[in-house]
Amino acid sequence: MKASPVHPVLISDGKGQSSLEYLMTYSWALVIIVVAIAALVMLIDPSQIGESSCTGFSKFPIANFAITPGGINLKVANETSRTVSNVALAGSFNKGESATSQEYTGAQAIPANGQASVTIPSPQGPLTGAVTVDLNISYFDGDFIRTAKAVCKGAVS
């Protein structure tokens, strides 16, 4: 039998292997933490955290609103210091179908510095749980036809 040739073995101090093991161990721990946080976010509906709110409509601030099983009720203030005409309001519920206001369909006016009560029915049947309503308004201010957008979030009351 022939003896196998001896190969020189490089002897190292093991620092590279130790650092790689360290990085691998803590990388897996970090992956597990990220997955756990993502699972919690998916289980908790972010729209249920915090208060109900409406944002948008800088010229027509929403003074008050309520989301009901049948749709959304709004109090919209006209802060344009002009009477606006041809007012149309519409909304889509939870990124679904849109519906038009029952009171403001495109032929009505809101007086200068006045308030309007608006109801937009849900086109998808009764609403439940947390709801997001994307609102659109179009109006004629005496010079131009303008549009604006707003978003209302809240739970059905």
CB-CB neighbours of 116 under 10 Å? 21
Q: Which residues contact 65 (CB under 8 A, 6 or more apart)?
A: 52, 54, 72, 73, 74, 75, 152, 154
The answer to whether the beta carbons of residues 133 and 109 sit under 8 Å apart is: no
Q: Is residue 58 part of a domain?
A: yes
Q: Do 26 and 65 share a domain, yes or no?
A: no
pLDDT of residue 72: 94
Q: Which domain holds residue 32?
A: 15-44
Whether 6 shows a pLDDT value over 90: the answer reads no
Look at residue 93 and tell me if it is in a domain: yes
Residue 115 binned pLDDT confidence (cut-offs 50, 70, 90): very high
pLDDT digits (tens, 9 = 90+) for 24-34: 888 888 899 99
| d(C-alpha 77, C-alpha 94), whole Å | 24
Q: Is residue 4 part of a domain?
A: no
* Statement to judge: residues 127 and 80 lie in one domain: yes
Q: Over the stretch 43-55, which tens digit does the pLDDT of each residue have?
A: 765 555 557 888 8
pLDDT for the residue 125: 85
What is the reported pLDDT for 126? Answer: 92
